[in-house]
Amino acid sequence: MNFGNQTPTIVVLKEGTDASQGKGQIISNINACLAIQETLKPTLGPLGSDILLVNSNGRTTISNDGATILRLLDVVHPAAKTLVDISRAQDAEVGDGTTSVTILAGEIMKEAKPFLEEGISSHIIMKGYRKAVSLAIAKIKELAVDISGDNNNRDLLERCARTAMSSKLISNNADFFVKMCVDAVLSLDQNELDDKLIGIKKIPGGAMEDSIFVNGVAFQKTFSYAGFEQQPKKIEHPKILTLNVELELKAEKDNAEVRVEHVDDYQAVVDAEWQIIIDKLKQIEDSGANIVLSKLPIGDLATQYFADRNIFCAGRVPSEDMNRVILAVGGSVQSTTSDIKPEHLGTCDLFEEVQIGSERYNLFEGCHEAKTCTLLLRGGAEQVIAEVERSLHDAIMIVKRAVQNRLIVAGGGAIEMEVSKYLRDYSKTVPGKQQLIINAFAKALEVIPRQLCENAGLDAIDILNRLRMAHSKDEKWYGVDFETENIGDNFSKFVWEPALVKINALSSATEATNLILSVDETIRNQESQPANAGMMPPQGGRGRGIPMR
């Protein structure tokens, strides 16, 4: 037999490598993303349910925040991880809409599946989606209402915060928390709006409405030595010194070995060490400071010394709290006590130590250097307080975006229905396959109002038909109204969201979809397993063998 014309088989990839490609691979990736979408769907909207997640350590988390759920799900499918990434990006960029962006991305992929199965090239679908999303974003910008001319600024921000809270655990306490969120954002420097200057502390116990807004910095009382209770607990216009110095006597054996011949020599060493710390304390006293904070320990000798002189001190202050104190009260961290000048000290209107629940907190209020605030959250269980914190984070970010970007749209599925109607009308003017693809994108947008209805137990088909009818009559702000279980003008009912949330969600969802559609081959390298536990893996392998001794 003649084998001369046959091409020999060439092995390029390592044995065990899984390589799958083609149309089936794209559809497989889409199905993985749809599984993620199905998990998040029930959490959307004011009447969405929460998800209880338990990690490998048995720690439980109860949440309906999309980014939090996806972070804890531990997704391993490489394609589905893109949904986790866009959800995180939405959380970092806008702060809210993390569930919406994932559901939208899943639905846009779902609409692409029939085209792929019919043999349409994924590049044609991607081109249609890019055109559709650019039209959709342009339409949202055209519809958005600019509220910068309205004088009642606070009222508008409260309405945006209330909409952000409507789907959260704290929706029943919205009146209380809306005020807290808006106070927090308005307390910041309006040019920078650095949300990292809003501190959040969680204190178990009490009701949610026992939460406290502190116009300044607050941190939990640090570990304290004898003499602490004799220190002042309330000081008006204090002078605050921040240190990175240890004010503690150390036993000689910890620091050095000293050889002595006489008892007097030993006593001289001890006296010298005492003199060093007494000199430091005297220099601090002479600086005029009546509050001393240090990142390092302040021992019992120093604590008693300060108590005798009516000075408050706290050692081992966490770096995060210390940095916010410095930003708020001014001054600078000193790593030595020998040259403390008046400009190194900070000040505020009032320092106070208060009991909150079972904890004691140090409060610095009325800070003038940097505008900052702290939210002390209360609640019956740790999981509840953690969810309150996540809910407030979303609302604070929404208020921040509303201050920066003054364009708003109506929520409750109104903007999605209006953009969907616009894209349907536009698709009729486009010939060929693009007409079908843009129409499919328009249909995908309806997933938001449909899911809102399903989660609320309403008849989704009936409500969607009414919404389509209303929008065809140019009722552009009509969306799902949960109070009447019907449709209504959500703009006049103040169900508002920043336009940025919708624009970012649409562009992120479409980018993620196009990314999945552009991948038609997956190559997965298997870890090579050594034949025997005591042998090294073959050269180039990635196994974790143990070399024989």
Q: Tell me the per-residue pLDDT of 205-249, one tens digit each, with 9 for 90 and over.
A: 888 888 888 888 888 888 878 778 888 888 999 999 998 888 887
Of 165-174, 380-389, 510-519, minimum mean pLDDT range: 165-174
CA-to-CA distance for 288 and 427, rounded, in angstroms?
Answer: 75
pLDDT at 132: 94
Indicate whether 61 pLDDT > 90: no
CA-to-CA distance for 444 and 451, rounded, in angstroms?
Answer: 12
pLDDT band at 11 (very low <50, low <70, confident <90, very high): low
Indicate whether 107 pLDDT > 90: yes
pLDDT digits (tens, 9 = 90+) for 407-431: 889 888 899 999 999 999 999 999 8
Chain-wide mean pLDDT for the chain? Answer: 83
CA distances from 520 to 87, 114, 311, 437, 515 (A): 23, 16, 69, 20, 10
pLDDT at 544: 37
pLDDT at 12: 61
Domain 214-402 fold is GroEL (3.50.7)
Average of per-residue pLDDT across 36-50: 87
Indicate whether 89 pLDDT > 50: yes
pLDDT at 530: 45
CA-to-CA distance for 211 and 318, rounded, in angstroms?
Answer: 22
Indicate whether 251 pLDDT > 60: no
Are 243 and 289 contacting, i.e. CB atoms less than 8 angstroms apart?
Answer: no
Phi-psi region of 303 (alpha: psi -120 to 50; beta: other; left: phi over 0): alpha
Length of the chain (residues): 549
In the chain, what percentage of residues exceed pLDDT 90? 21
Amino acid at 335: S
CA-to-CA distance for 55 and 135, rounded, in angstroms?
Answer: 42
pLDDT at 256: 64
Of 70-74, 299-303, 399-403, 535-539, minimum mean pLDDT range: 535-539
In this prediction the pTM is: 0.76
pLDDT at 537: 44
3-state secondary structure of 145: strand
CA distances from 298 to 276, 313, 389 (A): 14, 8, 32
Average of per-residue pLDDT across 22-32: 85
Of 187-196, 390-399, 426-435, 479-488, minimum mean pLDDT range: 187-196
Indicate whether 186 pLDDT > 60: yes
Q: What is the DSSP letter of 50?
A: P
Indicate whether 442 pLDDT > 60: yes
Q: C-alpha angle with apex 268: 265 to 274, nearest 5 degrees?
A: 150
**Domain parsing of the chain, residue ranges:** 18-146+410-520, 214-402
HSE of 382 in the Cβ direction (CA atoms, 13 Å)? 3
pLDDT band at 55 (very low <50, low <70, confident <90, very high): confident
Average of per-residue pLDDT across 251-273: 72
CA distances from 357 to 170, 206, 210, 328, 477 (A): 20, 7, 10, 25, 45
3-state secondary structure of 77: coil
| CATH for the 18-146+410-520 domain, from 1.10.560.10, 3.40.640.10, 3.40.80.10, 3.30.420.40 | 1.10.560.10
pLDDT digits (tens, 9 = 90+) for 134-175: 999 999 999 998 877 665 578 888 888 888 887 777 878 888
H helices present in 413-456, as ranges: 414-427, 433-445, 447-456
Average of per-residue pLDDT across 16-28: 70
Indicate whether 2 pLDDT > 80: no
Indicate whether 204 pLDDT > 70: yes
Indicate whether 358 pLDDT > 70: yes
Indicate whether 19 pLDDT > 60: no
Residue with more model confidence, 271 or 477: 477
Indicate whether 110 pLDDT > 70: yes
Helix (H) or strand (E) holding 499: helix 499-518
pLDDT at 535: 40
pLDDT at 421: 94
Average of per-residue pLDDT across 29-47: 89
CA-to-CA distance for 251 and 270, rounded, in angstroms?
Answer: 9
Q: What is the DSSP letter of 29?
A: H
pLDDT at 184: 87
pLDDT band at 90 (very low <50, low <70, confident <90, very high): confident
Nearest to 284 by CA among 303, 266, 265, 300: 303
pLDDT band at 252 (very low <50, low <70, confident <90, very high): very low
Indicate whether 13 pLDDT > 60: no
